[in-house]
Amino acid sequence: MSIITGYLLRDVIKNGAIIILVALVALLLERSLRIMELVGPSDRLITYSLQMLASLMPHYFGIALPTALFGGVLLTFNRLKREGELSVLQSAGVGLHQMSVSMIGLAGVVAVLAIILFGFLQPYARYQYRNFLHQIEESSLLAAFKVSTFIHSSDATFFVEDASQGVNNLGKIFIYQEDDKGNELITTVANGALSRSEDERELFLTARQGQKVNIQKQDSVIAALTFRDIRQRLATFEKTDFRQRGNGVKEFTLPELWALRGGSSALISPAALSAELHGRVAQILSILLLPLIAIPLALGGGRGGQVYGIVIGMLGLIVFEQMLLFGEALSASGYMSPWLGIWGCVLGFAVLSVTLFLRAAFHVSGDPWSLLDNFVSRIGALVMRKRTLQGQVS
């Protein structure tokens, strides 16, 4: 039995690893494009992008791990049936209930990893991601600069024609400044660059081939100056520290949510805290049910090579996750108790999983989707009969 267990686990882990790899690559590629647009052509583009992507890894692993477990079991047992290995194992006296023991054990390992991810890593990573966003807004020279848009700071109004090549080559720049006495200073630059001071609180313009027009309203004097090279302070920035962790319910760890149960934080209601706690625990415990529903779904539609189980399984997993999120949202709003909105979904999922597994493991037919097969076959027969009658009439 240990050889069979190792064989099954290796195949499930291999399929799960492929699913995790594909999911992470797809999710990270999509997010990296959005991060690059957010950071812009900054001189710290690579650093900021890698840091923000690293802070998103716990969140994406939390999505990929349960999906990989479900998909790995589904694909493995579907292959065993298609290639006839399942029949050989059952003929040798190894039943589905015995094969499922190792799958549930693997699900237990994934559940432990989910506790670490959902309970500890994700809250800190979410807070760190928002901290990086704050740092970008504070330190990125081009965070506020958009092409062909007037940008107003405390000291000046800017218009940058082209910011696509980074802070060292901004192309044409228009700057309007006004002092307390109403005097105006208009600067136009053919080619300019931006830089910060060492403490990153002052913004400087290094310009080449420009012109300044100074308008003194009290004396009615207009002075024009043409320059080739100039370095001028444009604005002063006040750097602010990022807020403390705990502004959102997603930023609390499981022990912190448990400690706050029945009470509330300064910004979050007791219902939202309770719903978040119940929702995370429900997500972790539902992982243990995934092999029980994946195995019977993988065995569906054997006749004719149909793969109803795989398609319905993936769709069903998505539906269950959305129902769980919907129940959590209702519970957080106070419209429904988490015992009904969240654990009601888990109970229904558990009943369905156990029922399908027992039917597949101990029912004579061994096919939980035989009714669906019969239904599809009858529909196909009716369609073919109708086409035959139409052909005879014509």
The pLDDT value recorded for residue 43 is 55
Task: Please state the domain extents for the chain.
Answer: 2-137+244-389, 150-236
Q: Using 50, 70 and 90 to split pLDDT, how confident is the model at 385? A: confident
Per-residue pLDDT at 304:
41
pLDDT surpassing 90 at residue 14:
yes
Q: Assess contact for 287 and 111: CB atoms under 8 A.
A: yes
Q: Give yes or no for residue 165 having a pLDDT over 80.
A: no
Q: Please report how many Cα atoms fall inside a 13 Å half-sphere around the Cα of residue 128, on the Cβ side.
A: 17
Alpha helices in 83-214 (DSSP H): 85-91, 96-116, 122-139
Q: Who has greater pLDDT, 394 or 342?
A: 342
| pLDDT level of residue 305 (50, 70, 90 thresholds) | very low
Per-residue pLDDT at 16 exceeds 90:
yes
Confidence of residue 299 (pLDDT cuts 50, 70, 90): confident
**Percent of all residues in the chain with a pLDDT value above 90, rounded to a whole number:** 29
- When pLDDT is averaged across residues 77-91 and rounded to a whole number, the result is 86
pTM over the 0.75 mark: no
Say what the pLDDT of residue 372 is.
Answer: 54
Give per-residue pLDDT as tens, 335-374. 999 999 999 999 999 999 998 898 888 875 555 555 555 6
pLDDT digits (tens, 9 = 90+) for 118-140: 999 999 999 988 888 777 766 55
Q: Span 251-274, mean pLDDT?
A: 82
Q: What is the pLDDT of residue 287?
A: 96
How many other β-carbons are positioned within 10 Å of the β-carbon of residue 275? 25
- 146 pLDDT more than 60: no
Whole-number Å distance between alpha carbons of 81 and 362: 16
User: In sequence order, what DSSP letters do the residues of 4-54 get, joined into one string?
Assistant: HHHHHHHHHHHHHHHHHHHHHHHHHHHHHHHHHHHH-S-TTHHHHHHHHHH
